[in-house]
Amino acid sequence: MDVTDLTLIELRDAIARRDCAAAEAARACLDRIEAVDPGLHAFLQVFRDEALARAESIDARLSAEGAGAVGPLAGVPIAIKDNLCLDYGRTTCGSRILENYESPYTATCVQRLLDAGAVIVGKTNLDEFAMGSSTEHSAFGPTRNPWDRQRAPGGSSGGSAAAVAARLTPGALGSDTGGSIRQPAAHCGVVGLKPTYGRVSRWGLVAFASSFDQVGPFGRTVADAALLCEALCGPDPLDSTSAEVEPPALLATLERPIDGLRLGIPAQARSGGVDPDVSAAFAAACSVYESLGATLVLIDLPNLEYGIAAYYIIAPAEASTNLARYDGIRYGRRARLEPGEDLETLYRRSRGEGFGAEVKRRIMLGTYALSAGYYDAYYKKAQQARRVIKGDFDRALDEEGLHAVFLPTAPGPAFKLGAKTADPLAMYLEDFFTVAANLAGLPAVSFPIGLAQADGSALPVGGQLVARAFDEMTLLRAARMHEAATDWHTQKPPA
């Protein structure tokens, strides 16, 4: 049995049956990371000693108490994005300004994984402070796509997506501010879930844009993502934005098809700006749903096109505020001062040396949008657009009696490393189909729907479902219907 080729659910069950020891699973993943990751750079830190010690302790508990007493993730190796706090190792956010920061506490969502019996094997690479769509903006170098190592894995959670796709771990956590789970999931051929805003605690997630950020899982199947999501969800008194909603039982109903499934297909999903191979894969996915008895309803989301503009005003504005704390005084990188230089010089030099170009760009954009004379023209107007976009989704879902809206995850397949770094606008447009769910606070999932061909490489294509707030159950059941009827989720990158 090749442990690393098992899905998260399969590995969980094998450990519970004692067909595979937790220590054996951890060692297999750690050995594969050691062998494969130098060519991918999915991980920033690997916790070999800590992971093996924890796995061995879980084996002892499994022998003494049984799987039910340990938790639903007993012994399963998981990777976490390096903007999630952990009370050992470092929490760098992919930034020089935090490269030596050691968190004194563990994020609530990570603690919930640990409480469920998971084994944390390491922390994954990301665009600096989660600001990017390619994982090229990491201060510690880019992550490469396992399907074609000359291409980006998407971002900002590209390290987590690449780790799951390359079979380095069966599951991982990421964060999604404007598509940072779903877009890399699409480019790497895995499942990525952004839960409803407030469904998962943000306490211990280093903030980028506080009204958008949401933690979510990656897995190779919809069931993998559902199991991880169940472990993550629930109210948290430490997070004032955490919803007082009990965790959903997602796995219990996952295999139950939705009778009379109605999916909305936006006109924008069929626009000329979508890559032909993505369009073909999306059309084929629609046909699969029709063959399963679903009704496809053509809808219009008339303000979807304003999503990018609204997002790239509001999110940088929130980033400008959140990142003001990194001043070289309280924590983070502190620049060296020469005799006679003042405090302002220290601030300027510390932030200048610590932040990368994309983070600086977004801080400046956000500060400008919040400045006197421009607040009403930009920030206030963007917030109004945000409400209108949410209204478009609410009307489409309610008036048409839809279970979900279906659209591509990204307008094209994975692009080559360096292809968009010189053109920020081209990079921002990668988020065209994903930012709306964040603006509206709705749950969304990306799952594999096909393969595109580019320069001799087969590249994954993702489809995205968006559902009503706190209706992850319907969302995942609808995604599972497509997955059960196809084999795209079984495809794997070349060895």
Q: How many CA atoms lie within 13 A of 238 on its CB side?
A: 13
With contact defined as beta carbons under 8 Å apart, do 461 and 413 qualify? yes
- Which one is catalytic: 133, 156, 157, 242? 156
Please confirm, yes or no, whether 175 is among the known catalytic residues. Answer: no
With contact defined as beta carbons under 8 Å apart, do 163 and 143 qualify? no
Alpha helix (H) residue ranges in 236-306: 250-253, 276-291
Please confirm, yes or no, whether 81 is among the known catalytic residues. Answer: yes
DSSP 329: S
CA–CA separation, 266 and 389 (whole Å) = 13
CA–CA separation, 200 and 194 (whole Å) = 10
Residues 6 or more apart in contact with residue 384 via CB below 8 angstroms: none
Question: Would you call 256 exposed, middle or buried from its count of C-beta atoms within 10 A (0-12, 13-18, 19+)?
Answer: exposed
Pairing verdict, β 214-219 and 171-176 = antiparallel
DSSP 103: -
Helix (H) or strand (E) holding 415: none
Question: Would you call 100 exposed, middle or buried from its count of C-beta atoms within 10 A (0-12, 13-18, 19+)?
Answer: exposed
Please confirm, yes or no, whether 180 is among the known catalytic residues. Answer: yes
Residues 6 or more apart in contact with residue 276 via CB below 8 angstroms: none
CA–CA separation, 369 and 348 (whole Å) = 21
Residues 6 or more apart in contact with residue 325 via CB below 8 angstroms: none
Give Cα separations from 360 to 84, 364, 433 (angstroms). 21, 6, 25
With contact defined as beta carbons under 8 Å apart, do 206 and 219 qualify? no
Task: Single out the residue of 117, 163, 160 nearest to residue 22, CA to CA.
Answer: 117
Q: Which two tokens stand for residue 376?
A: 């009403």
Look at residue 79 and give its three-state secondary structure.
strand
- Which one is catalytic: 133, 180, 279, 350? 180
Name the residues annotated as catalytic.
81, 156, 180
